[in-house]
């Protein structure tokens, strides 16, 4: 489910966020606790949303993660901005005591720490000047020890010689914490260590130290494990659990250096993980497919016998929806053909002219045209991303909630990357982040080619998934001896014989080389069947060959995407729904953090009680069928709504609702429809006590994507609250908050259908 505040009844504590740190030494201080010196895993904290960052400039080489990756050969450089000022905001106070930094040039470091941003800026209150202009030599570590507690850290790195390009190779931050317990992952619950297993199978558990803030660290002392019921489950000294043939429950206990915890294990012959709701994303399509005057104004794709981009887009959307099990629901909300006057491609530094492009394609070389191919291979063919975003106001539309992504379809030589990410916190997206945009939020940009086949287009989304999950997990190393879940997913038999799982975009689990091995019939042992139980990856194996996907590239992409987890809840600080990260990385990070930390409550007004919602028209019934709800015991079903309906909630209080920056509701229709053109949903809210006397509403969000889809699929309708509305709601208490779900424009085909609503959630 979406991590956040479900509008329902009751709330509960949840495990706080994780923080992995490299350990140094530990010293016991008291029974059941000890001090722990560690190096902060900054990239892990940033990826998990437990630390946010601001830098006074974009980097023209590398990115912020480059200075926290443990590799001094990867650096971040400012574009002649001196000094470089990095501010880090932690979600909880930290007892900082060490800094180690390496520059590529001479320079200085000033390090400031405070418990609030205002104290940091004003140098008052909790402010500490931890390091005062430490002199640094090129390519040498500069270390310093100090004692300072706080949530905000500011490093000012100044270059002192030659020019103003600041080169930062690596920065390590050390801290001291108190360990007082142990936590175990994976877990089915955020409130306790709970494990589900199949009888007769084994599962490797991972125990880690937890500090007083419930953050997690590697265990470096000997561990002891025991089971209360060996007839149900046994456990060895490493935490590997084996479920015997007897179904039931057992309590495991793990202890190390005077701290301990328990794990509840439930075994059964089968179990099914609950799928998360679908999410709709609005796509702005940009076509470079102008009519060609030299050839009777025939569109380029038709003139040269290439694919119809609009038809290919529809197929790609359908493939992604089907292979993700409905997790992904893309809807095209606008299409722009940029025409011939500006192709947004530069050829050897100059704008590529349309007449030149056509004359070269007319030579008949297609994708291998010598003039264009030579430019591409030498790095002299590039796309003008920022100019396109500016001319079409795509950042403004993204920030207004009108679009979520941009898909650009060009002829073979557009000069684009397959995928690229713009906006704050953008990371490697199978290409470097796009710098210099005006986007206030992240904007994925796909670069697709209508000369290539549809499987090639889907292939590009595979690389996007790889980039996103590498960012989520913090690493992709095929040789890792302690693989994270993404590394397990991508494990190939050729790299680890007998331990393969699914594969990556280029190579299936039984493949040997890039691209050419989608049709290998030679079977290998694979753990692919275990992914239906994620995050409980047990020793469920099978023999897998290309027969599993029809021995085609297209079939393999569906196979790979079909195994991407899309389940509810969170484990080890990360959502069990990887598609959420794929679609909206910042929102997914926040959702995982909130669900894990308990920063957002779980008190609820769901749709179980039909009396809690008033419908303007139609008949309300409670729907308790298993496939017709996304949380709780029931959903709300409406029939006889005609062209639309307004659902209004009962009054909600601030003691029962933790308002966050986003609100969403799940909706589905009971019948597969031929089309829902014009139909849409908007979300509204008001609270006169908080100065919101009339309903504030989202824009109307199209429901076209529900048409021609699986009838039992829910779609999540999200809304980013206006900043003024959010500020007002969070400024004080209330007991009069009402939410409206407004469905309108339903065509005749949908007016006789049942409409099901569930899971209103702030996140």
Q: Are 530 and 539 in contact (CB under 8 A)?
A: yes
Q: Is residue 518's pLDDT more than 80? A: yes
Total number of domains in the chain: 5
Between 586 and 14, whose confidence is greater? 586
Give the residue-averaged pLDDT of 741-755.
Answer: 87
d(CA 760, CA 604): 9
Residue at 8 is within a domain = no
Residue 48 belongs to some domain of the structure = yes
Which of 149, 178, 207 represents a domain boundary (last residue)?
178
**Distance (Å, whole) CA 339 – CA 318:** 27
**243/192 same-domain check:** yes
Best-predicted range by mean pLDDT among 377-391, 584-598, 602-616, 630-644? 377-391
CATH number at residue 129: 2.60.120.260
- pLDDT tens profile 136-153: 999 999 999 999 999 999
pLDDT value for 674: 57
Instruction: State the average pLDDT over residues 301-317.
Output: 96
Sequence-ordered list of residues with C-beta below 8 angstroms from that of 519, at least 6 positions apart, any chain: 546, 551, 552
Query: Could you tell me if 290 and 395 lie in one domain?
Result: yes
> Is residue 11 domain-resident?
no
Q: Do residues 678 and 590 both lie within one domain? A: no
Arithmetic mean of pLDDT, 33-48 = 89
Q: What is the pTM of this model?
A: 0.78
Is residue 289 assigned to a domain? yes
Domain co-membership, 285 together with 416: yes
Containing structural domain, residue 297? 280-452
- State the pLDDT confidence band at 632, using cuts at 50, 70 and 90: low
Of 336-350, 538-552, 570-584, 748-762, the one with minimum mean pLDDT is 748-762
Query: CA angle 201-505-18, nearest 5°?
Result: 55
Flag whether pLDDT at 602 surpasses 80: no
Q: Kindly indicate the confidence band of residue 587, based on its pLDDT and cuts at 50, 70 and 90.
A: confident
* 478 plus 354 within the same structural domain: no
- Domain membership flag for residue 355: yes
- Please report the pLDDT score of residue 8 as a whole number: 34
Within a domain: 101: yes
Same domain (yes/no): 433, 294: yes
Tell me, yes or no, whether 246 and 331 share the same domain. no
- Is the domain of 593 the same as that of 610? no
CA distance 445 to 437: 12
Residue 681 and residue 586 share a domain? no
pLDDT greater than 90 at residue 44: no
What residues contact 661, with CB distance under 8 A and at least 6 apart? 590, 720, 721, 726, 763
Tens digit of pLDDT for each residue in 112-135? 999 999 999 999 999 999 999 999
Run of H or E including 760: strand 755-762
Q: What value does the mean pLDDT take over residues 232-243? A: 97
Residue that is written with structure tokens 């007083």 in the block: 212
* CA distances to 121, 175, 606, 755 from 125, in Å: 11, 21, 44, 56
Residue 633 lies in a domain: no
Domain boundary among 178, 199, 232: 178
Same domain, 49 and 101: yes
Note the pLDDT tens digit of each residue in 671-691.
655 566 778 899 999 999 999
Domain boundary residue among 147, 178, 209? 178
What count of other Cβ atoms lies within 10 Å of the Cβ of residue 261?
18
Farthest CA pair distance, the chain: 86
- The reported pLDDT for the residue numbered 45 is 87
Q: Are residues 592 and 693 in the same domain?
A: no
How high does pLDDT run on average in the chain? 88
506 falls within a domain: yes
DSSP assignment of 525-589 equals: EE-GGGGGGTT---S--EEE-GGGTTTSHHHHHHHHHHTS-EEEEEETTEEEEHHHHHH-HHHHH
Evaluate whether 146 touches 81 at the Cβ level (below 8 Å).
Answer: no
* pLDDT confidence tier of residue 213, bands split at 50, 70 and 90: confident
- Give the mean pLDDT of 38-61: 89
CATH number at residue 197: 2.60.40.1080
Task: State whether residue 287 is helix, strand or coil.
Answer: strand
CB 690 within 8 A of CB 653: no
Name the nearest CA neighbour of 25 among 38, 10, 13, 39. 38
Q: For residues 608 and 623, give the distance between their C-alpha atoms in angstroms, rounded to a whole number.
A: 8
- Give buried/exposed letters for 590-609 (b at 16+ CB in 10 A, else e): bbbbbbbbbbbbbbbbbbbb
| Rounded CA separation 681/743 (Å) | 5
709: CB partners within 8 A, 6+ apart: 321, 326, 329, 672
Q: What is the pLDDT of residue 3?
A: 32
Q: CA 283, CA 701: separation in Å to the nearest integer?
A: 12
Share of the chain above pLDDT 70, in %: 90
Query: Average pLDDT, stretch 296-324?
Result: 96
Q: Are 610 and 749 found together in one domain?
A: yes
């Amino acid at each position: 489910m979406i991590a956040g505040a479900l509008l329902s009844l009751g709330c509960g504590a949840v495990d706080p966020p994780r923080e992995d740190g490299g350990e140094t030494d530990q010293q016991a201080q008291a029974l059941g606790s000890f001090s722990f010196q560690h190096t902060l895993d900054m990239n892990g904290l940033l990826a998990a949303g437990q630390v946010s960052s601001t830098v006074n400039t974009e980097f023209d080489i590398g990115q912020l993660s480059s200075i926290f990756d443990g590799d001094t050969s990867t650096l971040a450089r400012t574009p002649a901005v001196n000094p470089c000022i990095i501010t880090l905001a932690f979600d909880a106070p930290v007892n900082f005591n060490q800094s180690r930094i390496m520059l590529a040039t001479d320079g200085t470091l000033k390090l400031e720490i405070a418990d609030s941003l205002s104290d940091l800026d004003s140098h008052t209150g909790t402010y500490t000047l931890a390091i005062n202009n430490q002199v640094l030599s090129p390519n040498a570590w500069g270390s310093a020890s100090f004692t300072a507690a706080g949530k905000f850290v500011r490093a000012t790195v100044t270059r002192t010689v030659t020019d103003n390009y600041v080169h930062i190779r690596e920065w390590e931050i050390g801290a001291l914490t108190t360990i007082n317990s142990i936590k175990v992952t994976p877990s089915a619950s955020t409130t306790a260590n709970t494990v589900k297993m199949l009888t007769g199978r084994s599962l490797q558990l991972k125990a880690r130290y937890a500090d007083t803030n419930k953050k997690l660290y590697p265990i470096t002392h000997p561990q002891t494990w025991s089971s209360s019921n060996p007839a149900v489950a046994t456990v060895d000294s490493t935490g590997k659990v084996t479920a015997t043939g007897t179904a039931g429950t057992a309590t495991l206990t793990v202890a190390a250096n005077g701290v301990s915890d328990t794990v509840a294990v439930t075994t059964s012959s089968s179990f099914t993980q609950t799928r998360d709701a679908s999410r709709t994303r609005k796509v702005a399509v940009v076509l470079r497919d102008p009519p060609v005057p030299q050839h009777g104004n025939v569109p380029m794709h038709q003139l040269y016998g290439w694919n119809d981009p609009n038809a290919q887009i529809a197929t790609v959307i359908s493939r992604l929806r089907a292979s993700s099990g409905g997790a992904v629901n893309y809807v095209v909300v606008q299409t722009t053909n940029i025409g011939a006057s500006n192709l947004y491609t530069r050829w050897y530094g100059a704008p590529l002219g349309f007449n030149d492009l056509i004359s070269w394609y007319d030579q008949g070389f297609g994708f291998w045209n010598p003039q264009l191919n030579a430019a591409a291979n030498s790095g002299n063919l590039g796309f003008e991303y920022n100019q396109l975003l500016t001319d079409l106001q795509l950042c403004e539309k993204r920030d207004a909630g009108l679009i979520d992504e941009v898909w650009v379809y060009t002829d073979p030589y557009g000069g684009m990357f397959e995928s690229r990410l713009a906006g704050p916190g953008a990371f490697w997206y199978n290409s470097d982040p796009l710098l210099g945009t005006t986007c206030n939020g992240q904007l994925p940009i796909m670069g697709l080619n209508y000369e290539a086949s549809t499987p090639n287009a889907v292939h590009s989304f595979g690389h996007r998934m790889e980039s996103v999950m590498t960012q989520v997990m913090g690493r992709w190393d095929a040789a890792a001896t302690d693989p994270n879940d993404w590394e397990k997913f991508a494990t190939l038999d050729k790299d680890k014989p007998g331990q393969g799982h699914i594969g990556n975009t280029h190579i299936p689990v039984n493949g040997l080389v890039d691209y050419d091995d989608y049709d290998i019939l030679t079977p290998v042992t694979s753990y692919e069947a275990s992914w239906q139980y994620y995050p409980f990856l047990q020793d469920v194996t099978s023999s897998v060959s290309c027969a599993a996907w029809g021995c085609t590239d297209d079939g393999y992409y569906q196979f790979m995407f079909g195994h991407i987890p899309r389940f509810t809840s969170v484990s080890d600080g990360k959502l069990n729904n990887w598609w959420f990260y794929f679609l909206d990385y910042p929102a997914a990070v926040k959702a995982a953090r909130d669900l894990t930390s308990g920063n957002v409550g779980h008190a609820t007004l769901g749709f179980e009680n039909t009396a809690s919602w008033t419908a303007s028209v139609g008949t309300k019934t409670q729907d308790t069928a298993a496939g017709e709800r996304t949380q709780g015991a029931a959903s709300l079903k409406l029939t006889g709504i005609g062209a639309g309906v307004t659902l209004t909630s009962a009054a909600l209080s601030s003691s029962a609702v933790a308002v966050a920056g986003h609100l969403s509701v799940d909706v589905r229709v009971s019948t597969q429809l031929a089309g829902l053109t014009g139909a849409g949903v908007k979300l509204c809210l008001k609270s006169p006590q908080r100065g919101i006397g009339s309903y504030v509403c989202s824009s109307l969000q199209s429901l076209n994507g529900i048409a021609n889809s699986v009838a039992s699929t829910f779609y999540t309708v999200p809304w980013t609250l206006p900043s003024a509305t959010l500020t007002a709601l969070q400024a004080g208490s209330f007991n009069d908050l009402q939410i409206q779900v407004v469905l309108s424009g339903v065509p005749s085909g949908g007016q006789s259908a049942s409409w099901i609503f569930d899971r209103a959630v702030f996140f």
